[in-house]
A and B are shown apart, each in its own frame.
Chain A
Amino acid sequence: MVTPSLPVAAPTTTMEDQAQDVIVFDDVAIAFEDNAVLKGISFRLPRGESKALFGVAGSGKSLILKMALGLLRPDRGHIYTLGQDVTQMREEDLFELRRKVGIVFQESALFDSLRVRDNVGYRLMEEGVSQDEIDRRVREVLRFVELEHTVDMFPAELSGGMRRRVAIARAIITQPETLLYDSPTGGLDPVTSTTIVELIVKQRDVYKTSSLLVTHRLQDAFTMATHCFDPKSNHMQPVARGGRVEVPMTFLILREGKVIFDGELHDLVTTKDEYIREYIS
């Protein structure tokens, strides 16, 4: 019905580009029985950039993140994560690749049977790091998300927002170069959301990670696109209009299994597309 009025970046998937891009989707489609969820999605996430994914509930945003890690295989198309085609890899080889990517699941997905310390330090335990080193790094990363006091608690004893932050801590403890966030602020109050947004901005600006971020709250993504982290005050600061600082942030909107927008904030707010205008208003 509505034809996209903006050019959708056509991904090129030569070997050279793949070295530049941390994630490339090339004509990816997936269906569950009669429900065709994604019908040919293509986009690129260049190194160092953050991309916010939008779409109504059930449009397949979480699926995109899971497919990027090879947790689920598409019916068609290719996905290159850190230059490797995850659609063709065996599960055993994927484990190696997944260690370089952090993911925060929509419902946090903390291990119920493990304490916060063991949840957060899970990857380090798997890598055989010494207990003292794990303790030190877990404390450090919990301090980063401001939850140091929960170290000996079980996930069931935490609130939803705290669990989300623990999940973020678990994803970033090994400082992966790429992070996937699934609705990190979903269902949270504005104050906690801002804390989490600030964490993500901090991660992006201080550690220069690339990230794919699903969110339902447009204002969170706008905040991310217009703020950068100031290490001196330990808070994010608005970027001056017309300033020299470029925030590496793009937006992607899904509709009915297709990408209808993929571009920068400026293009998004000046779009003439009815659906997008309604979405962002």
Chain B
Amino acid sequence: MAAGDFLSGIEFISPSEFAKKKIQSIQEYSILAAQSVVNLFRQPRYWADVIQQMDLIGFGSLPIVLASVFFTGAALALNSATTLSRFGATTVIGQLVSIGIVRELGPVLAGLVVAGRNSSGMASELGSMIVTEQIDAMRALGTDPMKKLVTPRVVATVVMLFFLTILGDFMGLLGGSIVASILLGMDAHEYWSNAWQTLVFSDVFMGLMKPLVFGFIVATVGCYYGLSTKGGTWSTYS
């Protein structure tokens, strides 16, 4: 009792309180992430919502993903050309661009675009649904918001980010080839065969696993921030 009174007079967040809060949010996030996957194996499934989200995420982000990867591929080719020409090794530009884009930059750029465009959108959309009691209304009407809102967003983001990355990778290679053939006067056929031949299974595999992981993280984090909006009753959900 006395210790409690003593502590309540002091104006600071106690470290244990702080740690408790952090651990609690980690726990809540983990539950959300796990449920979003488990719900795939449970009825009911909301396919119409999945399709709608796919349209929003996939087609909505397509032009901007394509443009950003295209210019990155072009810039990559241009930058490396300066260095490589000193060694007379401009023929390896194709290799450089293809490894860089397929393994790293394609997935990362597509992920960034989707995070910026859709993840924040999910957070604000679900947050406003919490504040206007639409989530409570949904629960009151007998629908699990996890199944109706979270799982479709996660599935749609993972699937669409995968395809966005594939299309983005092609655009990146195309950007590189345009720079290589127009500005550097390389043979386009040489560039493409070079780019194609360097890619081994592990590059492609890694490059295509990443969007799955990124997509999952992007969507679950967006949904988590939306649903943990202050004033919501969601965190009492177990």
Main secondary structure of the interface of B (DSSP, over half): loop
A88 to chain B minimum Cβ distance, whole angstroms, is 12
A105 at interface by CB-CB < 8 Å: yes
User: Which residues of chain B are near A106, meaning CB under 8 Å?
Assistant: 133
B104 at interface by CB-CB < 8 Å: no
Pick from A92, A109, A123, A126: contact of B136, CB below 8 A: A109
Report the Cα distance A95→B137, complex, angstroms. 12
A72 at interface by CB-CB < 8 Å: yes
With A71-B233, A109-B134, A111-B134 already in contact, the answer to whether A103 and B140 are too (CB < 8 A) is yes
Within 8 A of A (CB), among B122-147: 129, 132-134, 136-144
Taking a contact as CB atoms under 8 Å apart, the answer to whether A91 and B237 are in contact is yes
A116 at interface by CB-CB < 8 Å: no
User: Which residues of chain B are near A92, meaning CB under 8 Å?
Assistant: 144
With A66-B136, A111-B134, A112-B134 already in contact, the answer to whether A96 and B142 are too (CB < 8 A) is yes
CB closest chain-B residue, reference A65: B140
CB closest chain-B residue, reference A98: B142
Taking a contact as CB atoms under 8 Å apart, the answer to whether A95 and B143 are in contact is yes
A54 to chain B minimum Cβ distance, whole angstroms, is 21
B180 to chain A minimum Cβ distance, whole angstroms, is 46
Pick from A91, A111, A170: contact of B238, CB below 8 A: A91
Within 8 A of A (CB), among B105-158: 129, 132-134, 136-144
Report the Cα distance A73→B238, complex, angstroms. 11
B236 to chain A minimum Cβ distance, whole angstroms, is 6
CB closest chain-A residue, reference B140: A103
Report the Cα distance A233→B200, complex, angstroms. 82
Tally the A-B contacts, defined by beta carbons under 8 Å. Answer: 61
Which bracket fits the contact residues of B? 10 to 19
B187 to chain A minimum Cβ distance, whole angstroms, is 53
User: Which residues of chain B are near A94, meaning CB under 8 Å?
Assistant: 139
B30 to chain A minimum Cβ distance, whole angstroms, is 17
Within 8 A of A (CB), among B65-84: none
Within 8 A of B (CB), among A59-117: 66, 69, 71-73, 90-92, 94-96, 98-99, 101, 103, 105-107, 109-112
CB closest chain-A residue, reference B139: A71
A122 at interface by CB-CB < 8 Å: yes
Within 8 A of A (CB), among B141-178: 141-144
With A109-B132, A109-B133 already in contact, the answer to whether A91 and B140 are too (CB < 8 A) is no
A252 to chain B minimum Cβ distance, whole angstroms, is 21
User: Which residues of chain A are near B44, meaning CB under 8 Å?
Assistant: 126
Report the Cα distance A99→B134, complex, angstroms. 16
Report the Cα distance A41→B236, complex, angstroms. 21
User: Which residues of chain B are near A103, meaning CB under 8 Å?
Assistant: 137, 140
User: Which residues of chain A are near B142, meaning CB under 8 Å?
Assistant: 95-96, 98-99, 123, 126
Residue of B141, B143, B236, B237 most packed against chain A (CB within 10 A): B141
Taking a contact as CB atoms under 8 Å apart, the answer to whether A69 and B140 are in contact is yes
Residue of B134, B140, B238 most packed against chain A (CB within 10 A): B140
Report the Cα distance A22→B134, complex, angstroms. 25
User: Which residues of chain A are near B136, meaning CB under 8 Å?
Assistant: 66, 71, 105, 109
Q: Report 7 cross-chain contacts, Cβ distance below 8 Å, ordered by A residue.
A: A90-B238, A103-B137, A107-B133, A110-B134, A112-B132, A112-B134, A123-B142
Nearest 6 pairs of A and B residues by beta carbon: A109-B137, A109-B133, A99-B142, A95-B142, A103-B140, A98-B142
Which B residues have a C-beta under 8 Å from some C-beta of A? 44, 129, 132-134, 136-144, 233, 236-238
